[in-house]
Structure 1
Amino acid sequence: MKLKKINYQKLFFEHLTKYSPYKKNISWTKWYSNVAVFKGERTAQILLEYKGSDAKVLDLGCGIGLSLSILSDYFSKIVGCDTEEDAIKASKIILNKAGKDVSLFKYNGKKLPFKDNSFDIVTLIEVYEHVEDTKILIDEVYRVLKKDGVAHITTANKWWPIEPHFKLLFLSYLPGFLADFYVKVSGRGEKYSDIKLPSYSEFKKAVERRFVVEDITLKLIEDYEKYSFHKERGNILIIVGEFLKFLNTFRRIRILKFLVDLFKEFLLRISLGWLFIAKPRIK
């Protein structure tokens, strides 16, 4: 339950222009200051379908604190964690402006500073692609998450034509040195080689090693009104969502069900990104 009305869009825009690594792209900053609000609200809505508001939550890779600010409206037992000291400082600033008292932790990218089975929920909101060793990341999420807990893990698609961080065509298709050059000459940043977007199969395989995955990507698209997903992704999402709902009417016929499911699998692989709810595999 929200306790205080905050103009997050205004707060986020001011914060992004100072602390975002993508602040050189002012059009992106304006766009994302709106999107980040919808994303935070949507994340809270999803998580509350799995756990109550008294859940212990870790926002892993909290960055400069945007999603953390909103999630703390819904979960009082939430903490943030990041590898970057500057990000933690920026998170403290925005949390203070929003009147939030949230503990923040720095970690070395290898071992999280928490005991085993500490959290009911761990969120990784577009963090996966920024991590050098994703195996260690997934292992650590598994370790600190309670066995009946849930991990909320999102990432973007390597093969989506317009790279989501810098909004540059085919950027994620390029080898590191060319991608760095492309970002520099575009004036939108300094480098790209530290971002490694996965394909769908790479992402799913990595998470499934430790977790049972519920891919809710298409569910969010089909139920776009419930989750306000169209406000985040635009009118094209309404078209796709309505088309998917239309296709579902044919799933009652066995041969058509197979074809519909095959098409949905294809759609997942070319999607802008994915959202997994992951539950620990019990050994």
Structure 2
Amino acid sequence: MPCVTGLDCPALATLQGLRSGSSNLGPEFVARVLPGFYSSMAEPLDLYRCVEAAAGNRCPGGIPATCTGLLNNRACTDCPSRRHWNRSEGHCEECTPWQQLGWILAAAVMLAGLVMVYYMMTAQTTAKASVKDTATCAFGMTISSLQSVGIIGTMTVQVPEGLKALFAFLQVFLLDSDDNFAFSCVASGSAPARYVVSVLVFPGAVCWLLCCHYASKLLPKRLRWEGPKTTNTIGALLQLAFSTMSTISMAPMMCFSHPSGVFSLLKYPSITCGTEDH
């Protein structure tokens, strides 16, 4: 039996023994898939790498087609329908109505927050920076810093165990919420659909501000939004979200190789680079 990267191949190991996990000669002569790799039962010698940034402990190794906690698809990337991956527990959990309601409330809070941002940023300005101006500037710098730290969590570099949870949490500032906040429960189990939803977040926010601008024409004159101020608010939003938008835009261009010679997306390993879904 040929031995490829990702396989433990003792002497006299056979392909049948790799599939079954046993051998007439004894367990020490059984080939096995190493942890962090995956192969299907139909093609056990086509090995796929389970990257730490996207998969964590999803691929325990052993016999082919072995995944942790109900995971399926190539390289153990997806949970069954109506379930999401719990990184801390290491298994797929059922989506609950509270998780779906939480995302709906979060979207409502974000839309209401954009309206508040308009009034905060377009208030009367003075020559000296006020407490509000200082707090706004500090808030923007803090968000930018958290985004930069969150980017580290998307890389394949090894980080200390104590920091993994922190980096995973900070990825929410990059709209990377698949594993930590059950995003697939409201978006979709499909990787392309989840990516499209994340791409549309900021264009949707801009459209919301424009809708509020034109809807305010129905209000009394003192409450109407002004064009330059609306443009200023949109510009500030896009400036603050630059790191997040850059990370999202780069996701389809970041591929990694498997021992089988196939390339997959780093963020969505179930998507093969160069295919129709990609």
Same fold (TM over 0.5): no
TM-score for the superposition, normalised by structure 1:
0.21
TM-score for the superposition, normalised by structure 2:
0.21
